[in-house]
Amino acid sequence: MSLRAAAQPHNTPAAPLQAVAPEKRSWWSLREYGRRIWTVHLVLLAIFAILAVIAHSLRADRLDVWITDQIQRLTVFDGPLQLVSWFGYTPQEIVILGAIIALIFAVGYRVESLFLLISVVGSNLIGALVKNLVARPRPGAPAVHVLRHLGGYSFPSGHVLTYISFFGFLAYLAWVEPRNSLVRGIVLVPCLALLILIGPSRIYVGAHWASDVIGAYLLGVVWLSVILRLYVAWLARGAPEAPSRGGS
């Protein structure tokens, strides 16, 4: 049974996605919250820019090394932390994310599957551009223990960017769409777990410094916010304009 079908009462036609939970969708409306959210974006990007400059100048600082040392002591969580990162490596990343997008498209969420694809592809392109501009080497021995040696640059974390742009968008859809709380939980809980754990996971395996991860979270949140804003604007096109709120 599809997510949309599971969310509907028997003998009731499926409601258009645009009509579901409008009060939740308007929460991300540029029309209502534009000025305040763009201000938050600028603050996050400013912090990201500072981290990028530091990353370009330093291979790592003492705080990065200390955080890595503390996280790599959590060997009791070795399996889960490595597994969280495993999903983001090629080829399984392409297979898993592609299958989820195809499934969402197949059950009728065609606009959502397109925006999900744009979100993840765009984040990868932005991440690759910033990595080459900053050109920070990845962590290495003897400063950290590297469980899996990777090529390329370190800042920002590509895994974190991918997870935020993909599982963050998926979590948003799960939050606003299904009327069935069980369906919502089945999708939302794993997405949130992946979003929370991917940062520590990348530090644990020795692939990134803490500042790489923090920078990726900052950039990823801004990118996801932009994508969600475009998505909500697309759904709202042609709809009657809602009264604006103060501070818009």
Q: Is the pLDDT of residue 221 over 50?
A: yes
7 located within any domain: no
Q: 167-196, pLDDT tens digit by residue? A: 999 999 988 876 777 888 889 999 999 999
Q: 141-164, pLDDT tens digit by residue? A: 787 888 888 888 999 999 999 999
169 located within any domain: yes
Is the pTM for the entire model greater than 0.85?
Answer: no
Gap between the Cα atoms of 168 and 173, Å rounded: 9
Quick one: CA torsion of 231, 232, 238, 244, rounded to 10 degrees?
-150
229 and 173 Cβ atoms separated by less than 8 Å: no
103 located within any domain: yes
Q: Token pair for residue 163? A: 């997870």
Q: Is 136 left (phi over 0), alpha (psi -120 to 50) or beta?
A: beta
39 located within any domain: yes
84 located within any domain: yes
179 located within any domain: yes
Residue 34: the pLDDT is: 63
Domain count, the chain: 1
Residue 135: the pLDDT is: 93
- Listed in sequence order, the residues at least 6 apart from 155 whose beta carbon sits closer than 8 Å to its beta carbon are 51, 52, 55, 56, 130, 131, 134, 136, 208, 209, 211, 212, 215
164 located within any domain: yes
Phi and psi at residue 155, to the nearest 5°: -105, 125
Which residue range is the domain that position 76 belongs to?
Answer: 22-236
Q: 93-115, pLDDT tens digit by residue? A: 999 999 999 999 998 889 999 99
10 located within any domain: no
Binned at pLDDT 50, 70 and 90, residue 78 comes out as: very high
